[in-house]
Amino acid sequence: MKNGLAIYQKETFNMINLEEILICPNCKVKFEDFNRSQVCINNKCSSFKKTIKNIKGKYVLVDFSNFMISEEDFLNFNSNTNDIRKKSFIIDLLKSVVYGNSLKTKKNVNNIIHSLNKKCSKILVVGGGTVGAGLSNFYENYRDQILSFDIYHSDNIDLIADAHSMPFLNEVFDFVIIQAVLEHVMYPKKVVSEIKRVLKKDGIIYSETPFMQQVHEGAYDFTRFTESGHRLLFNNFKCIKSGFIGGLGTSLLWSLEYFFMGLFRSRKIGKVFKLIFFWLRFFDYLIPKIYNIDGGCGFFFVGKKDVKISDSKIIKFYNGSQVF
């Protein structure tokens, strides 16, 4: 533990050999003898013969020809900053009071692991720079089977990459987790397409996305999803389970934080009021599910790689209170 945050950096991979599964994120050609050459061998690729960058021991496998910022700005930022997501023990404690312990996430992920049983040898965490809410025990129990990446340096990741163009071979992973990430990518459907590509035939996806949440992470916050919208995003997957993560009480708590933040022109005061009214989240358990579906703070989706479902099935999927 460091400053109250568990660090899961791995020195070796017991179940996952990075060099065997890495491809060029630009042209998707497999690297040959990656450890020694560290270059793309495709002479038609813009990355051809360019040495792969390394930041603080992490490979940088990003297609900068299709990235939101320039390669120079990106590398300078990552090289000149420490782990920007590290938190103190006090902050972690306060967050657990306000948000709870993400019991739904823990239960959902544990159920998936148990259903996969011994077949789950390779797990991918997309956007794993921060250990997600409810995933600490999961990381501790399966750290040797997890490969994690993000677009910024962190002790929790194994490489730096862009979710829009993942540097992995087709059908490598048994299980992919993407938690609170899809709202921060520019093209969510493209990311989901990449997830489908790297998942094995019977692979499982676990996704969490926000709905009734205000802007967080500033300019890097783009999209919100209803439960039906979340389902539509994964329309190439069979739905195993879906539901809300945080209901109307939690949504109200978010609104109060931003209301007082704006009223007093202070982010800190907004956080104070969120702490004062933390008890509102317990109304999530009193309000019927069909109403939480229509105003939930966020949603989860568990799916299995499958054929595309029809638009009419997306309409029938709706399970909220507004049935006409």
| 280, pLDDT greater than 90 | yes
Of the given ranges (77-81, 164-168, 296-300), which has the lowest mean pLDDT? 77-81
- Using an 8 Å Cβ cutoff, are 37 and 120 in contact? no
pLDDT in tens, 192-212: 999 999 999 989 999 999 999
| Predicted local distance difference test score (pLDDT) of residue 324 | 74
pLDDT in tens, 164-193: 999 999 999 999 999 999 999 999 999 999
Average pLDDT, the chain: 88
pLDDT in tens, 107-162: 999 999 988 876 778 999 999 999 988 998 899 989 899 999 999 999 999 999 99
- Using an 8 Å Cβ cutoff, are 174 and 116 in contact? yes
| 233, pLDDT greater than 90 | yes
Which residues face 250 on adjacent strands?
A: none
Tokens representing residue 152 in the block: 């910024």
- Using an 8 Å Cβ cutoff, are 108 and 249 in contact? no
| 16, pLDDT greater than 90 | no
For residues 244 and 297, give the distance between their C-alpha atoms in angstroms, rounded to a whole number: 7
| 2, pLDDT greater than 60 | no
Which residues face 48 on adjacent strands?
A: 40
pLDDT in tens, 215-229: 999 999 999 999 999
Sketch out the chain's domains with CATH numbers. 93-317 (3.40.50.150)
| 3, pLDDT greater than 50 | no
Of the given ranges (100-104, 203-207, 242-246), which has the lowest mean pLDDT? 100-104
For residues 304 and 58, give the distance between their C-alpha atoms in angstroms, rounded to a whole number: 31
Alpha-carbon distances of 107 from 101, 237, 245, rounded to whole Å: 11, 21, 12
| Predicted local distance difference test score (pLDDT) of residue 1 | 27
For residues 111 and 113, give the distance between their C-alpha atoms in angstroms, rounded to a whole number: 5
Average of per-residue pLDDT across 89-106: 72
| Predicted local distance difference test score (pLDDT) of residue 87 | 54
| Predicted local distance difference test score (pLDDT) of residue 286 | 97
